[in-house]
Amino acid sequence: MTVDPPWALLAELTHRCPLRCGYCSNPVELVGRSTELTAGEWAGVFRQAADLGVVQTHLSGGEPLLRRDLPDIVAAAERAGLYTQLVTSGVGLGERRLDELVAAGLHSVQLSVQHADPDASDRIAGARSFAAKERAARLIRAAGLPFGLNIVLHRTNIDALDDLIALGVAWGADRIELAHTQFHGWALRNRATLLPTRNQVDRARTTLTRWRERPGPAPELIWVTPDHIDGVAKPCMGGWGALSLTVAPDGTVLPCPAAAALPGLDPPNVRDRQLDWIWRESRAFNAYRGDSWMRDPCRSCGLSSTDHGGCRCQAFALTGDATRTDPACRLSPDHALIRDLVDSPRPAATPVHAYREGAP
Ligand code: FES
């Protein structure tokens, strides 16, 4: 089978984070600081990625600003010719820090916010952070960098969508990503409390349509499908080993950020292998590439060429078998696992979820 080159690299620079969001989709077992790749090792990863065909890298975490050597890492990506996007909570993004990153070659920033109300945002994040985010937004705008705002939607904040979009407009975001919670890693523990009701999602859709139909200039509004509610499988990562790769803080290379939880994957590491071999030859990247691994109903379904059978990590988390059709799909024989949860009566009170525990 011909393997096309990837175009994006998710560089998880650290799993350390000042926030404690209950919807965190990073693994339950986080990588500790002592095994993080050095800036020099990241420089090698970026060179190999560029040689492989990658054109952009998302510098993510955890919170990448916790890496003091972040300007060196940005400069290394710039030298490799990669477009860089910093994915940040905004905590620690002062004027001097941003100046250093821009001087190193940073191209764009994606900032997260948890709620439009400062107290609610801090409560969801499990840390005082809203004021830092507000300041970071101002600095990003003043620096003239392309500015994306990321909002993870769940039961506690989805009713505030109108205010959240208005906040993004007030902060000057070019793009607002409305991303329904992905139930991987830590977030899976909190699925029952994070999952919105069908009525909440319907109301949010109406709000979204109203904003999209407003005349005049407006940020781009991206709506990431709520697969649990819609009964459709997401084309996760654009297909396994098809478009992008993830390098974890300790150099483990994965087809998606959640794949570390899959059994028998034996994920390779950039400390042992070249990225080109990892992408083309490794067992991990070939495990669910293409469609030969698929079973029915995916195998005989016309949708599989676009949804790629959905998410392998979700299929494994819910059924114990990563080769099954993603239960989010209403055609899956396991769809009741999701439908019953979505349609089960749930208390009206604001749910409480378990805060994320930090990296060692
Ligand atoms: Fe791993 Fe979807 S998150 S395949």
- Nearest-atom index, ligand 1, CA of 234: 2
Distance (angstroms) between ligand 1 centre and the Cα of 105 equals 31
Q: To test ligand 1's pocket by mutation, which of 26, 232, 236, 288 has the most ligand atoms within 8 angstroms of CB? A: 236
Distance (angstroms) between ligand 1 centre and the Cα of 67 equals 26
Distance (angstroms) between ligand 1 centre and the Cα of 25 equals 11
Per-residue pLDDT tens for 187-236?
999 998 999 999 999 999 999 999 999 998 889 999 998 999 999 999 99
Distance (angstroms) between ligand 1 centre and the Cα of 276 equals 21
Residue partners of 163: CB distance under 8 A and separation at least 6: 116, 117
Q: What is the ipTM of this complex?
A: 0.90
Residues in contact with ligand 1 (CB, 6 Å cut-off):
184, 236-237, 256, 258-259, 311-313
Whole-angstrom Cα distance, residue 149 to residue 200? 21
- Nearest-atom index, ligand 1, CA of 288: 4
* Verdict on whether the full-model pTM lies above 0.80: yes
Whole-angstrom Cα distance, residue 330 to residue 222? 23
Q: Tell me 153's DSSP state.
A: E
Distance (angstroms) between ligand 1 centre and the Cα of 119 equals 32
If we measure between CA atoms, which residue out of 124, 114, 152, 183 comes closest to residue 342? 183
Complete edge-to-edge strand list for the sheet that includes strand 175-180: 220-224, 175-180, 147-153, 108-112, 83-88, 56-60, 8-12, 244-247, 253-254
Residue 256, annotated as binding a ligand: no
- Nearest-atom index, ligand 1, CA of 313: 1
The predicted structure's pLDDT at residue 225: 87
- Nearest-atom index, ligand 1, CA of 25: 3
The predicted structure's pLDDT at residue 216: 83
The predicted structure's pLDDT at residue 350: 66
Distance (angstroms) between ligand 1 centre and the Cα of 259 equals 6
Q: What is the pLDDT along the chain (360 residues), one digit of tens a residue?
A: 789 999 999 999 999 999 999 999 999 999 999 999 999 999 999 999 999 999 999 999 999 999 999 999 999 999 999 999 999 999 999 999 999 999 999 999 999 999 999 999 999 999 999 999 999 999 999 999 999 999 999 999 999 999 999 999 999 999 999 999 999 999 999 998 999 999 999 999 999 999 999 998 889 999 998 999 999 999 999 999 999 999 999 999 999 999 998 999 999 999 999 999 999 999 999 999 999 999 889 999 988 888 998 999 999 999 999 999 999 999 999 999 999 999 988 766 666 778 998 877
Residue partners of 216: CB distance under 8 A and separation at least 6: none
- Nearest-atom index, ligand 1, CA of 182: 3
